[in-house]
Amino acid sequence: MDNEQCCVTLSVQPSRGLVDEKFVVLVQNTVPSSLLTIHALHRCEDAHSWHAFAHYTSDATGAVNVSEDCSMSGTYSGVEAMGLLWSLKPVPGSKPGLRMRKKNVQAPMVVTISVYKGHLTEDFGDRVPLASVEVERWYMAPGVRRIPVTDDGLTATLFLPSGRTCLVGLEEAQLVKT
3-56 pLDDT, tens digit per residue, is 455 699 999 999 999 999 999 999 999 999 999 999 999 999 999 999 999 999
* pLDDT at residue 101 tops 90: no
Q: How far apart are CA 70 and CA 53, in angstroms?
A: 13
Q: How far apart are CA 173 and CA 119, in angstroms?
A: 60
pLDDT the model gives residue 58: 97
Query: If pLDDT is split at 50, 70 and 90, which confidence band does 165 have?
Result: low
Residue ranges covered by each domain of the chain: 3-138, 145-177
* pLDDT at residue 176 tops 70: no
pLDDT, mean of residues 168-178: 47
Domain at 3-138, CATH class: mainly beta
Q: How far apart are CA 131 and CA 41, in angstroms?
A: 14
